[in-house]
Amino acid sequence: MLFAFVALCVQDLPKSNQPAGLQTLNEHLKIFEPLVGKTYRGEFASSTPEKPVFDVSRWERAMNGQAVRILHSVNDGEYGGETILMWDSNRNKVAFWYFTTAGFHTEGTMEIDGKVWTSTEKVTGEANGVTEVKASSEVTPEGGFIMKSEYFRNGAWEKGHEILYKLAPDAEVRFK
């Protein structure tokens, strides 16, 4: 039964003439193209020499370019997660799902304006009382990106984190 469904779904798909390594992203995901295939390391603005806090983020093309997959880990695996970004034609927005090593997950959408993307997401599961997250990110002229977030907790919005990510080809996403 499953194979019949798969055959039905793929029979009219367009065939690409490009080699696999040269295929691009869905047109609605093009803002992420400069980040895909790269690894970044970001220091949290709150990081100190006594208590460093950093995030490593790996961006990948997924699902034949219909999605972007992002893996990340904080402080070599103290916390981490995986995000899948895809175009949602029903909502006319980029939609995403974020799954964490802390056991909660989120679902949200993004608005894209030039080189800036803003996201809103709902949290499912226990995330220290956080029920919603808003974030804004932008590709930097140096080829990295900056992200700022806010959390909704106890009926009010509070400042989240700010991270400047720089290209770090030798950095690794690690999970404990």
Interatomic CA distance for residues 156 and 15, integer angstroms: 50
pLDDT in tens, 137-162: 999 999 999 999 999 999 999 999 99
In this prediction, residue 110 carries a pLDDT of: 97
Maximum Cα–Cα distance for the chain, whole Å?
Answer: 59
* Res. 167: pLDDT tops 50: yes
Both tokens of 24, joined, read 């691009």
The Cα-based distances of 112 to 29, 44, 62, 117, 137 in angstroms read: 9, 24, 20, 4, 10
Q: Where are the alpha helices (DSSP H) in the chain?
A: 2-10
Range 108-134 average pLDDT: 96
In this prediction, residue 176 carries a pLDDT of: 87
In this prediction, residue 19 carries a pLDDT of: 46
pLDDT in tens, 94-116: 999 999 999 999 999 999 998 89
Residue 79 contacts residue 100 (beta carbons within 8 Å): yes
In this prediction, residue 5 carries a pLDDT of: 42
Interatomic CA distance for residues 140 and 148, integer angstroms: 13
Beta bridge partners of 136: 118, 148
In this prediction, residue 29 carries a pLDDT of: 96
> pLDDT band at residue 40, thresholds of 50, 70 and 90?
very high
> Which pTM was predicted?
0.86
Interatomic CA distance for residues 163 and 52, integer angstroms: 12
Both tokens of 25, joined, read 């992203």
- Give the chain's mean pLDDT: 90
* Res. 88: pLDDT tops 50: yes
Torsions phi, psi of 43, nearest 5? -95, 130
DSSP state of 140: -
Please provide the size of the chain in residues: 176
Both tokens of 44, joined, read 């949290």
* Res. 2: pLDDT tops 80: no
> pLDDT band at residue 23, thresholds of 50, 70 and 90?
low
Is domain 25-167 annotated with CATH 2.40.10.480?
no
Percent of the chain with pLDDT over 70: 87
Torsions phi, psi of 148, nearest 5? -130, 140
Where in the chain are the domains? 25-167
